[in-house]
Amino acid sequence: MSAPEAIPEPAPVHGKAASLAVDVRGVSRVFAGRKGASVTALDSVGLTVEPGEFVSLIGPSGCGKSTLLRLIADLDTPTTGEIRVFGKPARQARIDQDYGIAFQQAGLLPWRTVSGNIELPLELHGAGRAARRARAAELIELVGLSEFAGHYPDQLSGGMQQRVAIARSLAESPSLLLMDEPFGALDEMTRERMQNELVRICAETSAAVVFVTHSIPEAVFLSNRVVVLEPRPGRIRDVLRVGLGETGARGETLREDEEFFHVVSQVRELLHGEAPAGARGVEAR
Ligand SMILES: Nc1ncnc2c1ncn2[C@@H]1O[C@H](COP(=O)(O)OP(=O)(O)O)[C@@H](O)[C@H]1O
Ligand SMILES: [Mg+2]
């Protein structure tokens, strides 16, 4: 009788890897195109996000920002590479509802009130009526819509609808938020107000965030790190650590700060592929 084949031990998940909110390793995503042509939306992308950290993805259209977010959310599967969320495979994190998602379109159900929309994920996962109501009320207050709990989406402005979507994404107290241009459809003033609120909400909930945006000032204002992607194939060009203090302490005055403008121009230069002026805080990935 031959010796039983050695069964390899599963690699232990410990230390730093287990404590990361997001761990993307060597991830590529190739889409098969028409007539055999294929698009490499992402090519060997590596990225980690610490718990409570705010990381923005920025880059020209088509550089793979949405693809990367969808892969982390397990709405799509990498062609190669591995993604872990809180040390688990992305699929398990989705099943465990470890993250909330918000996209550019609020995506509210028009026949449900503000409260009803926010309660939806809780309802789908079997929370009782009283618990749902209480949680929705808490979140409605958090996003400053207390007077509108009974309103329907078409009675709200775009900014208010987006706040409802953010409240809904927070319903199950996720430790991670995945946001794809959530303020993209808003006017500039509303957008800045929403950014101030998001900073406050993140400080209150300690959630990690992966945030896709086209706006350089938005990325800088919100983030601990800004990840600059480049297209065809989609790759990480640079990662810039934003040294503007705790994100939770950032407020309206920061927008006028000289240091803020400095970081904005650093990101702009990275986007345009130039060496950043005084490459402070720029790391390999
Ligand atoms: N489902 C898909 N099928 C085929 N190609 C896709 C699909 N999704 C994205 N792509 C392609 O992958 C590239 C990256 O897209 P995307 O991640 O949406 O970019 P971004 O969000 O940065 O604008 C683009 O070239 C896009 O056309
Ligand atoms: Mg996109």
Q: Residue 17 has what pLDDT?
A: 62
Q: Could you tell me where the DSSP H helices lie in the chain? A: 15-19, 65-72, 90-95, 114-124, 129-142, 158-169, 188-205, 216-222, 258-271
Q: What domains appear along the chain, each with residue ranges and CATH number? A: 17-98+174-283 (3.40.50.300), 106-173 (no CATH)
Q: Residue 8 has what pLDDT?
A: 56
Q: 67 CB less than 6 Å from ligand 1?
A: yes
Ligand showing the shortest atom-to-Cα distance for residue 57? 1
Q: What is the DSSP letter of 148?
A: G
Q: Residue 117 has what pLDDT?
A: 97
Q: Residue 282 has what pLDDT?
A: 46
Q: Residue 278 has what pLDDT?
A: 46
Distance CA 279, CA 269 (A): 10
Q: Residue 18 has what pLDDT?
A: 62
Q: Residue 46 has what pLDDT?
A: 97
Distance CA 170, CA 192 (A): 20
| Pocket-testing residue among 27, 42, 67, 79, ligand 1, by greatest number of atoms within 8 A of Cβ | 67
Residue numbers of the chain with a pLDDT score lower than 50 = 1, 277-285
Q: Residue 279 has what pLDDT?
A: 46
Q: Residue 283 has what pLDDT?
A: 46
Q: Is the dihedral of CA 153, 158, 163, 169 positive or negative?
A: positive
Q: Which residue has the least CA distance to atom 5 on ligand 1?
A: 31
Q: Residue 14 has what pLDDT?
A: 53
Mind listing the pLDDT tens digit for each residue in 126-183?
A: 899 999 999 999 999 888 899 999 999 999 998 899 999 999 998 888 899 999 999 8
Q: Residue 82 has what pLDDT?
A: 97
